[in-house]
Amino acid sequence: MDLVLVNLIDGLVTGLLLFMLSAGLTLIFSMMGVLNFAHASFYMLGAYFAYQISIALGFWMGLLIAPLIVGVLGAGVERYGLRRVHQYGHVPELIFTFGLALLIEELVQFIWGKNQMPYSVPDVLNFTAFAISGNSIPAYKIFMIFISVGIFLGLLYVLTKTRVGMIIQAALSYPRTVEALGHNVPLIFMGVFGVGTALAGVAGVIAGPVLGTFPGMAFVLGSIVFVTIVIGGLGSLWGALVASLLIGWITTFAKSYNIEMENILNAIGISTPEDLSESVFRDFWSLTSPQIADILPYILMVLILIFRPAGLFGKRIS
């Protein structure tokens, strides 16, 4: 039972981290119809910038400044890159963001090299918050939860209670109408893109110390984020939240409980073949859940797409 609680907390941390990325990605997607392939690259930039700033000014200034820089960069990418490519259609837009993701990774390697950066948890937060029957929960994890929940509540407030939020929500569904009402839709787009990438930046700043700050970090998390928003339903913020938490928990639990495929198959009434070493499926039989934890999201996505193509919360794709 105690282990369950520990895993719940760990899964929550992963899930909320995913959500910080998938929320921005979803906002950008539902507004502009562009799936920003480079979204996780902005997350990586957040981590690297924060590391660089933290050397000079400390962790907290990094947390404050790095997302801002990332947001401005993101807005710049929208203004000078995406908007230009937009005229060619959706597929080139997608290709553009894909190219951008490659380029940012190369750029990061160019500036910081291929090795992991010594970006670490600040001393103030480097202690054990509490322990659950011998399993210590670091304070930094609690801090991550607070930051993500805080950002989520802030986002919810802005979207539902403020005038800007109303305009954004309206622009999500009826961009032309909103434009006709005299609002500067391109500016809103740029703003949303900036805010979305800044959110990814925040995620990078707080995830960098625990998940590692290295050139591959964007790719590691990036494809999971896409899977998340496909599972949640493209364009649905609630779907993104649910799918993020779902994936966070599924992967955490799969990693901590060593369930063997053989046991599952036996449980559902398939008996182990006499001579496993000869079978083509020998590796399949000896699979364990930690082994497949990282590909569970993909399996989940394929299943969702087969049985519920619009995703968990998605509207019917027209």
Say which residues have a Cβ less than 8 Å from residue 169's Cβ, sequence separation at least 6.
159, 160
CB of residue 64 to other proteins, shortest distance in Å: 27
Cα separation, 217 vs 208, whole angstroms: 9
Burial class (CB in 10 A: 0-12, 13-18, 19+), 173: exposed
CA separation for the pair 240, 246 (Å, rounded): 10
Query: To which residue do tokens 């740029």 refer?
Result: 190
Nearer to other proteins, 104 or 198 (CB): 104
Q: Is 127 in the site for other proteins (CB under 8 A)?
A: no
136 or 173: whose CB is closer to other proteins? 173
| Cβ distance to other proteins smaller for residue 148 or 228 | 228
Q: Angle at CA 41, nearest 5°, toward 36 and 45?
A: 135
- Interface pick for other proteins out of 5, 90, 150, 258 (rule CB under 8 A): 90
b/e burial code for range 174-209 (CB count within 10 A of at least 16 → b): ebeebeeeebebeebbbbbbbbbbbbbbbbbbbbbb
Q: Minimum Å distance from CB 3 to other proteins?
A: 25
| Residue 281 found at the interface with other proteins (CB under 8 A) | yes
Q: Which is nearer to other proteins, 136 or 279 (CB)?
A: 279
95: contact with other proteins by CB under 8 A: yes
**Binding region for other proteins (CB under 8 A) out of 8-16, 17-25, 135-143, 282-290:** 282-290
The answer to whether the beta carbons of residues 6 and 133 sit under 8 Å apart is no
Q: Does 2 bind other proteins (CB under 8 A)?
A: no
Provide the H-helix boundaries in 78-162: 83-86, 90-112, 139-161
Judged by CB under 8 A, does residue 102 bind other proteins? yes
Compute the distance between CA of residue 154 and CA of residue 67 in angstroms, rounded to an integer: 15
Provide, rounded to whole angstroms, the least separation between the CB of residue 147 and other proteins.
28
Collapsing DSSP states into helix, strand and coil, what is residue 164?
A: helix
Residues 9-68 that bind other proteins (CB under 8 A): 29, 33, 35
Give whichever of 116 and 291 is closer to other proteins, judged by the CB atom.
291
**Residue 280 in the binding site for other proteins (CB under 8 A):** yes
Which span sits near other proteins by CB under 8 A: 4-12, 54-62, 134-142, 279-287? 279-287
Nearest Cα to Cα of residue 96 among 37, 22, 26: 37
In sequence order, the β-bridge partners of residue 132 are 135
- The mark string for 207-236 relative to other proteins (x by CB under 8 A, - otherwise) is ------------x---x--xx--x---x--
Residue 152 interacts with other proteins (CB under 8 A)? no
Comparing CB distances to other proteins, the nearer of 5 and 103 is 103
Judging by beta carbons within 10 Å of its beta carbon (0-12, 13-18, 19+), is residue 31 exposed, middle or buried? buried
Residues within the interface to other proteins (CB under 8 A): 29, 33, 35, 81, 84-85, 88, 90-92, 94-96, 98-100, 102-103, 105-107, 109-111, 113, 219, 223, 226-227, 230, 234, 280-284, 287, 291-292, 294-295, 298-299, 301-302, 305-306, 309, 317
